[in-house]
Amino acid sequence: MAHYDLHMPVFEEQVRALRINDTVTLHGTLYGIRDATQIHMFDRGRKPRFDLKGHAVIHTAPNVRKVDKSAEFPAGYAPVCIGTTTSDRMERFTRPLMKQYGVRFIIGKGGMREGSAQSFADIGGAYLAVIGGTAALETTWIEAIEDVDMDDLKPESLWKFRLKGFCPLLVAMDSHGGSLYTAVKANSQARRAQALASLGVAVK
């Protein structure tokens, strides 16, 4: 288990070095993306104006306050509360995000499926887990909302965040086929019979 400080964007070798259970702190830029953002990008052909190559995207739709544009609030938005949503719903977008846009990291909660694991292995990417429901804490890791695109989808716009140091993120799926979720799921399935036996249910 190692800790990595990564300044975004990153190259493939930096991602390939990561293994499950490593921890990561991200510096620089992070993009916020959500269901509607990706539905519009991949099903309706909208092209974002940001270059996502080598970057990390976080599954989020933040609480924001509209303010006048200034050096402190370059996009005209003050962050109120920025957290993470369940990643599983956005499973089908992992490969196109990586293939078409060069995204290297997906940050979210709850993990992703086999298709994402395969994309991480094929193209060189990783899933970084943030603790879901800890948005007040996550908000303190963000310096500013630097820019925003596809803002008609608010709060599911494409957000560009400037980070103070986004941590602690756990490498939960790596580019070598490792997945903490698969391991936990297999273990839980194995314990199903024991749980049912404790309830007096005979397993068929």
CA distances from 146 to 29, 70, 101, 139, 149 (A): 9, 10, 20, 14, 11
The reply to whether 146 sits near another protein by the rule CB under 8 A is no
What is residue 90's DSSP assignment?
G
Q: Is residue 199 a contact point for another protein (CB under 8 A)?
A: yes
Q: How far is the CB of 48 from another protein (least distance, A)?
A: 19
Nearer to another protein, 11 or 197 (CB): 197
Q: Which of 110, 124, 146, 151 binds another protein (CB under 8 A)?
A: 110
**What type of residue sits at position 160?**
K
The yes or no reply on residue 188 touching another protein (CB under 8 A) is yes
The verdict on 116 binding another protein (CB under 8 A) reads no
In 56-132, DSSP assigns E strands to 56-59, 63-66, 77-81, 105-108, 126-129
What is the H or E stretch that residue 168 is in? Answer: strand 166-173
Binding site for another protein (CB under 8 A): 36, 60-66, 80-86, 88-89, 109-111, 129, 131-137, 139-140, 154-155, 168, 170, 172, 180-181, 183-185, 187-189, 191-192, 194-196, 198-202
